[in-house]
Amino acid sequence: MLGFLIRRIIQSIFVMLAVALIAFMMFRFMGDPVNSLVAENATVEERDAVRERLGLDQPLWVQYGRFVARAATGDFGLSWRNARPVSTLLAERFPATAELVLVAAGLSLLLGIPLGILTALRPHSFSTQTLQFFSLIGISLPTFVTGILLILVFSVWLGWLPSFGRGTVVDIGWWSTGFLTLSGLKALVLPSVMLCLFQLTLIMRLVRAEMMEVLRTDYIKFARARGLTNRSIHFRHALKNTLIPVITIFGLQLGGLIAFAIVTETVFQWPGMGALFIQAVSFGDVPVMAAYLVLVSLIFVVINTTVDLLYAVLDPRLRVDGARAAH
């Protein structure tokens, strides 16, 4: 277990160093920073002086080391577009994205697992057929088309829900939350539904497939032979084993949610990090792009590592195998 943990953490560090290298290369080779700092008619000596002051004359690996050290403290310099510290920009935007992603993730679990169980226990009922059909549509529709349809129906035609922004937010320290006001909650509905739809269908299908698989196994047959109630068999015996793969997929998909939040934030003009990243991409604003990349990668790596470890904790079979392999 410990060996596994250490291996996973070392692997994660390497991934982060690779990501930092990409971010560093973007800084180093996209535009010459010296040009933006010296006067147009600066002499070669003046340029060299600036270059020396910034440390750009040192070997690349020294510069890379300094970049990593600064990035580790969250320092990515100033945005090229509006000359504010990148870390401040991201910190302002982070709560909006975090709340959106958390609500979407929660929705997909709260709806996906029960629906998956329902469709597995009653494979031939009308509701199952309907759900399966809609899940096929849910998987095939491009996310932004779903978002546009939601806006068209619920904002333009019915006028029930707002189609852009976060509503009124309340500041708690540096965190701005939309959970505490009615308009904030209403503004969350459409974006989180749009964002969760794909994952919801995925979890529903996964739970369904796993549940049907588990229900065929011997220990379930044995439980039935013992005369346990259906309720106890389905929820106390079968569900536990069904949920283990769900954790893995859910963890992996959480990264997908963060990435697709970019699209959701654009459709609903949600003031999150994704919208900031899109602006940075269209203006070629390297510091913001690099910082977003590093931050999102860090989140991914932490999620993936946690999922792997959780998996080992939750599934005793893996632990036994690990112990045997160690001998």
DSSP letter at 159 equals: -
Whichever of 4 and 283 has its CB closer to another protein, that residue is 283
Applying CB under 8 A, which part among 194-202, 211-219, 253-261, 319-327 lies near another protein? 253-261
Check the CA dihedral 255-258-262-265 and report its sign.
Answer: positive
Q: How far is the CB of 43 from another protein (least distance, A)?
A: 25
In the complex, least distance from residue 309 CB atom to another protein, rounded to whole angstroms: 16
Q: Which of these ranges, 65-73, 178-186, 281-289, 311-319, lies near another protein under the rule CB under 8 A?
A: 281-289
Query: Which helix (DSSP H) or strand (DSSP E) does residue 208 occupy?
Result: helix 182-215
Q: Is 30 among the residues that bind another protein (CB under 8 A)?
A: yes
33 binds another protein (CB under 8 A): no
Please report how close the Cβ of residue 286 comes to another protein at its closest, in angstroms: 6
The distance of closest approach from Cβ of residue 177 to another protein in the complex, given in angstroms and rounded to an integer, is: 26
DSSP helix/strand/coil, 295: helix
**Residue for token digits 């932490």?**
302
Q: Do residues 195 and 146 touch, judged by C-beta distance below 8 A?
A: no
Ramachandran region of residue 315, left (φ > 0), alpha (ψ -120 to 50) or beta?
beta
Nearer to another protein, 67 or 242 (CB): 67
Q: Does 302 participate in binding another protein (rule CB under 8 A)?
A: no
137 close to 152: Cβ distance less than 8 angstroms? no
Distances in Å between the Cα of 313 and the Cα atoms of 170, 253, 306 are 38, 20, 10
Give CA–CA dist 161/68, Å, rounded: 44
Q: Is 278 in the site for another protein (CB under 8 A)?
A: yes
- Tell me the two tokens of residue 244: 């283990």
The yes or no reply on residue 304 touching another protein (CB under 8 A) is yes
The distance of closest approach from Cβ of residue 1 to another protein in the complex, given in angstroms and rounded to an integer, is: 23
Instruction: Select the residue interacting with another protein from 1, 54, 156, 302 (CB under 8 A).
Output: 156
The reply on whether position 190 binds another protein by CB under 8 A is: no
| CA atoms of 272 and 94, how far apart (whole Å) | 6
- Alpha carbon 99 to its chain centroid, in Å, reads 12
CA distance 33 to 53: 12
Using CB under 8 A, pick the residue from 213, 255, 299, 310 that binds another protein.
Answer: 255
246 binds another protein (CB under 8 A): no
For position 267 contacting another protein by CB under 8 A, the verdict is: yes
282 lies in the binding site for another protein (CB under 8 A): yes
Non-local (6+) Cβ contacts of 69 within 8 A are: none
Classify the C-alpha dihedral 58-64-67-68 as positive or negative: negative
Residue 18 C-beta: closest distance to another protein, Å: 6
Site string for another protein, 106-145 (x = CB under 8 A): ----------------------------------xxxxxx
Cα radius of gyration rounded to whole Å, the chain? 25
Residues of the shown chain interacting with another protein in the complex, contacts defined by CB under 8 A? 15, 18-19, 22, 26, 30-31, 140-145, 148, 151-152, 156, 163, 255-256, 259-260, 262-263, 266-267, 277-278, 280-284, 286, 289, 293, 296-297, 300, 304
